Amino acid sequence: MQGKHLYEYAIIRVVPRVEREEFINVGVILGDAKSGFLGCKIELNESKLLALDPLADCEMIQLNLNSFEKICLGKSNGGKIAAMDLASRFRWLTAVRSSIIQTSRPHMGFSAELEKTLEKLFEENVK
């Protein structure tokens, strides 16, 4: 498997009414600490969200998704968590939580091209 990276990924979900446990997939986070890659692709489909919860605050949820992305990418305006090392950011972002933004359990795979794999997983699981 020379040239392939062992990566972990999780699906990013929005759960507008946590007590109902209904969700829509809105993105993917993919990380490989050995190669130093951590990326995410996020897109909120507001019509799907409003179909689950007509009272959902789309603007607030989008702001929280933007923060999720800043932490993932280690942006300077992402706060203290964004300053953590790559593996710690991945673990923090994929930790089990009972909030509007959640992730699936992490899954693993092999890829020679992590950016293309991120795009493929996004197309398969979100679009």
How close are the terminal C-alpha atoms of the chain, in Å?
30
Would you give per-residue pLDDT tens digits along the chain (127 residues)? 467 999 999 999 999 998 999 999 999 999 999 999 999 999 999 999 999 999 999 999 999 999 999 999 999 999 999 999 999 999 999 998 889 999 999 999 999 999 999 999 999 999 8
pLDDT of residue 98: 83
Q: What is the pTM of this model?
A: 0.93
Total domains in the chain come to 1
39-66 pLDDT tens trace: 999 999 999 999 999 999 999 999 999 9
Residue 114: both structure tokens together? 């992590």
Domain range for 93 is: 5-125
* Distance from C-alpha of 61 to C-alpha of 94, rounded to nearest angstrom: 17
